[in-house]
Amino acid sequence: MKRTIVGFAFALVSLFAVGSVAAQDFQKSYELGAGGRIRIGNISGDVIVTGYNGSAVVVTGTKEGRDKDIVQVEDLSTAGSIDVKVRYPRDCRNCDASIKFEVKVPRSISYQFDKISSVSGEVEISDVTGNLRASSVSGTVRIREASGSVNASSVSGEVNVEIRQLSGIENMKFSSVSGSVDVKLPGNLDADVQMSTMSGDLQTDFPIEIKKRGEYEVGRRASGRLGSGSRSLHLSSVSGSVNLTRL
């Protein structure tokens, strides 16, 4: 009886192990020093980047969909950079295949996030340090608890950004074609600010002049210099509201 129970338990553990490996289609750890470059490019699926207390950058990709086996992960990383992207076959028109990337990065190390992007999927980034560029064509770009400088854009989706600490004097731009742009920054913001929307509300609690629509003017605009204007800050939307508020 004991042998039967042990055999069943071993089979059950093996089954869970196989299921775990099958669900985890790509995983790799990278030792990347401060200033290293990170690029994650997706086509169909979300990209989630999260800061943690570890020392390595860990990239995990999970394939989904009926035709998931056609998705190939390309790892073009080098000693000083992480470069992971996906490839689909050219004849994939009605394929049911996507991949979700989850990336863990040491929160205490500053990186150059050159490109964190998805064509059709959301991009979510939280608790990281460094210079960050994030984008989506069809999806929301959401950034929380970042330290450094950020640029974020979406074509058909919202852009929501919260930066707890600014560093450097790099210019920053936040934009959407069809979606709102909502940015929260520290109260000691030092920048030349330009805000605009063609069709939507515009609000800020920083001391910036909001210009009302003229008789023949389309949209709303706001501009002003905060502090010495050490960097330029642009927020814009074609069809959506634009908000700049103090953290």
Q: What contacts 175, CB < 8 A, 6 or more positions away?
A: 153, 154, 159, 181, 234, 235, 236, 237
The yes-or-no verdict on residue 3 having pLDDT over 70 is no
CA angle 195, 189, 106 (to 5 degrees): 105
Instruction: Indicate whether this model's pTM tops 0.75.
Output: yes
Q: Which of 186, 192, 176 is nearest to 241 (CA)?
A: 176
Given this model, what pLDDT does residue 217 score?
64
Write out pLDDT tens, residues 51-74: 999 999 999 999 999 999 999 999
Write out pLDDT tens, residues 82-101: 999 999 998 887 889 999 99
Domains of the chain, start order: 2-246 (2.160.20)
Given this model, what pLDDT does residue 212 score?
67
Write out pLDDT tens, residues 9-32: 444 433 333 343 344 589 999 999
Given this model, what pLDDT does residue 219 score?
82
Compute CA 165 distance to the chain's CA centroid, rounded to the nearest angstrom: 17
Q: What contacts 69, CB < 8 A, 6 or more positions away?
A: 63, 97
Q: What is the C-alpha to C-alpha distance for residues 30 and 32, in angstroms, rounded to an integer?
A: 6
